[in-house]
Structure 1
Amino acid sequence: MRERKEMVKHSKRYKEIQKLLEPNKSYTLAEAVETLKKGPSAKFDESVEVALKVGVDPKKSDQQVRSTVFLPHGTGKTIRVVVLAKGDKAKEALDAGADEAGDKELIEKIKGGWTDFDAVIATPDMMREVGKLGKVLGPRGLMPAPKAGTVTTDVKKAVEDLKKGKIEFKVDKSGVINNFVGKLSFSRENLVENIESLLSAISKSKPATSKGQFMQSLFISSTMGAGFKVDLNSMALG
């Protein structure tokens, strides 16, 4: 029997993206962003994302990397915020712009599978009940935490911060920090400043027990685009 070799067909857009890539090249951050923006556009405003490999052992509790940072030019996304709080605190959250706020009924709604939100804030007195939502919120990285500023009595400030562009970063099980940093429609300068702000905050969050090189590799990409490797040595991070 004659062997049949199946040809893999790629779209015109895919081929155009591949033309931008230079094998084994590491770009400066500005070059990577500029090249990313030159790619063929999708039918929507793509998100720009970073993937940073860090030198920690995520299995060790003293080598966790988790904190927050304000992106100077925002995220370009409409962040849907849920606040789990009682009485006056729930009203305070709604007045500050929360999309949903409440206690038992809202918890039951989430427990039933409703996940149409991007961030969850909770007051300390709600955490026992919030713990029951671990199976729903945990896999999505949405469990409220003091380090992320999402367990607080100042729900007004927490809601406003998230709406203005405050994001959380956290290392995953493979030692990688993934975050979106804006939209492809942003200017090159604004994207670069957002990424630099994120990397600077991550650098300052290096655990004391982390040995060797902390930031090991960085790639930036868009939702439908290619990934570009950034030369970390070309960056000065404070």
Structure 2
Amino acid sequence: MGKVKKIVMDASQEAEVKAKAVSKKKKMIIWEELYSDLTPHVALALREARVKPDQLTTMSDGDLTAIDGINDTALEEIRSKYSPDLTAPVAVATTAAPAVAEGEGTEEKSGIIPPNKRHTFRHGKAIVAAKSKIDRTKFYPVEEAVKLVKSTNITNFDATVTVHLNLVGKDAPTRLELTFPYLAGAAKKVAIVSDEILANLEKGKIDFDILVTHPSFMPKLAKYAKLLGPKGLMPSPKAGTVTPDPEKKAQEFAAGKTMIKAEAKFPLMHITVGKI
């Protein structure tokens, strides 16, 4: 039989090993807890692609849209929460310069290059022309603002129009239910909690975008909170998805009713109103 080698460590070595173990544990990423401030399907796409939040600010738009499940609408939502860092210099590795004869002039290099110029769009002719049509000191009526948005659009695809609201005052609402005359984006699938839905949840199957329930089903739904919660699908009275008349509420959501809420840390609301 082989001999078992026993390693004896002193107190300092043992403390160092424990410190490394704790440090390694702290570096572990709990993906399910990331991107709770984004739409569930956008958050899920970023988690499955294993993209860390600090990477979003350095990734280009092309890199993000290359991720399965991230389209132009999702890209705009990500950029509204995680703005790209265009000012941070990019450090590059430098090698030792060859020796030069004494007296010869040498140009000092810092080893830092400026940000990638492909992100600098402000000097483009189309953007300059579009900006010239907008008076930043003027407040536009809604009808005139819509016409201005259309006339200044320079994209070659169906661009998404998002309204950003700055909430002022203590009495400003932080949660609203709105019904748009036309659906903006893909229609959402609404489900009402039933025995069939509970059976699918037991299997981990989710085939809906909004889940509505009668208060009597909430005790049965409690066991699926860990499944529905991270995806933003757990019914709640605040979201208007727990109601005595779930059939009526489901029809309202299917017709375009949208729950809009302010950001968790800032008095801002972001509302997608359509495409141009």
* TM superposition score category, shorter chain reference: 0.5 to 0.7
Match of 2:246 in 1: 155
TM-score, with normalisation over the residues of structure 1? 0.52
Question: Which structure has the larger Rg over C-alpha atoms?
Answer: 2
Q: The residue matched to 2:117 in structure 1 has which SS?
A: coil
Contact 1:75/1:180, CA 8 A, preserved across alignment: yes
Percent of pairs with identical residues: 29
Match of 2:273 in 1: 181
* Partner of residue 128 from structure 1, selected from 219, 232, 247: 219
Contact 2:209/2:233, CA 8 A, preserved across alignment: yes
Query: Aligned pair in 2 of structure 1 residues 126, 68: CA closer, same or farther (>3 Å)?
Result: same
Q: How many residues in Structure 1 have an aligned counterpart in Structure 2? A: 161
Query: Aligned pair in 2 of structure 1 residues 51, 12: CA closer, same or farther (>3 Å)?
Result: closer
CA distance in 2 between partners of 1:167 and 1:50 (Å): 14
CA distance in 2 between partners of 1:30 and 1:164 (Å): 24
Query: Aligned pair in 2 of structure 1 residues 55, 136: CA closer, same or farther (>3 Å)?
Result: farther
Please say if 1:40 is aligned against 2:154: yes
In structure 2, list runs of 5 or more residues that go unmatched. Answer: 1-107
Contact 1:107/1:130, CA 8 A, preserved across alignment: no
Amino acid at match of 2:254: K
Query: Aligned pair in 2 of structure 1 residues 6, 178: CA closer, same or farther (>3 Å)?
Result: closer
In structure 1, list runs of 5 or more residues that go unmatched. Answer: 87-100, 185-238
Alignment of 1:1-238 (within 5 A): 1-2=108-109, 4-5=113-114, 8-10=117-119, 15=124, 16-17=126-127, 19-21=129-131, 22=134, 24-28=136-140, 29-38=142-151, 39-43=153-157, 45-55=158-168, 65-86=174-195, 102-106=197-201, 108-109=203-204, 114=206, 117-135=208-226, 137-138=228-229, 141-173=232-264, 174-184=266-276
Query: Aligned pair in 2 of structure 1 residues 162, 5: CA closer, same or farther (>3 Å)?
Result: closer
Higher strand share: 1
CA distance in 1 between partners of 2:202 and 2:269 (Å): 29
TM-score, with normalisation over the residues of structure 2? 0.46
Q: CA RMSD in A?
A: 3.5
User: Whose RCO is larger (CA < 8 A, sep 6+)?
Assistant: 1
Per-residue Cα deviation, 1:31-72 (whole angstroms, up to 9, x for no partner): 3322222312343x3332222121367xxxx98632312212
